[in-house]
Copies of this chain bind each other. A is one copy, B any other.
Amino acid sequence: MISQTAEYALRAVVFLADRADVPQTTQQIAKVTCVPAGYLAKVMQGLRRAGLVAAQRGLHGGFTLARPADELTVLDVVRAVDPLPRIERCPLGLSGHQTLCPLHRRLDGAVALVEKALSESTIAELLTEPKRGKGPKPLCSLTSSDG
């Protein structure tokens, strides 16, 4: 439902949140998130342009979150790289229709529901949640392959 780009951006942001203020290179992020490095580099540029991550150059450079993880929602990340398309006018292209027909009102309403749900989870919550239960770690793999 969200795009591949948005999915990859979320994995990267969750990983950066878990690493707090320690910069992570594209290669490090790519390895843990299982995203091809070339694709990930573009995703990271999108996140940087949107102000969600900061890039530091140099020997110990890399990406860090530009905002606290508890002030960053899942929806913020999706919107930064590939927003969910809302239906704002008649998709049949008919002029003169100021309001949506019942079908397209329903479909747009469903998108609104998703936006609301994704706005209710912060990235910080995704990190802390598994500590309360027996579920896997955030992003499944954070403990195993990130060295």
Q: Mark A95-130, 1 if CB is under 8 A from B, else 0.
A: 001011111111101110110011001000111011
- In the complex, what distance in Å separates the CA atom of A135 from the CA atom of B114? 24
Residues of A within 8 A of B (CB): 1-2, 7, 10-11, 14, 33-34, 74, 84-85, 90-94, 97, 99-107, 109-111, 113-114, 117-118, 121, 125-127, 129-130, 135-141, 144
**How far does the Cβ of A31 sit from chain B's closest Cβ, in whole Å?**
11
Q: What's the minimum C-beta distance from A90 to chain B, rounded to whole angstroms?
A: 5
Contact A1 B84 (CB under 8 A): yes
Judge whether A102 and B130 touch: CB under 8 Å.
yes
The minimal Cβ–Cβ distance linking A132 to chain B, given in whole angstroms, is: 10
As for how many copies of this chain the complex holds, the number is 2
A1 neighbours in B (Cβ, 8 Å): 1, 84-85, 107, 110-111, 114
Q: How far is the CA of A114 from the CA of B85 in the complex (A)?
A: 14
Q: Which residues of B contact A91 (CB under 8 A)?
A: 7
Find chain B residues with CB under 8 A from A14 CB.
103
- Which of B102, B113, B141 is the one whose CB lies under 8 Å from A138? B102
Beyond A94-B144, A101-B137, 15 additional pairs, beta carbon < 8 A: A1-B110, A10-B103, A10-B107, A14-B103, A74-B107, A90-B136, A92-B140, A97-B140, A101-B130, A101-B139, A102-B125, A103-B126, A110-B118, A113-B117, A114-B114
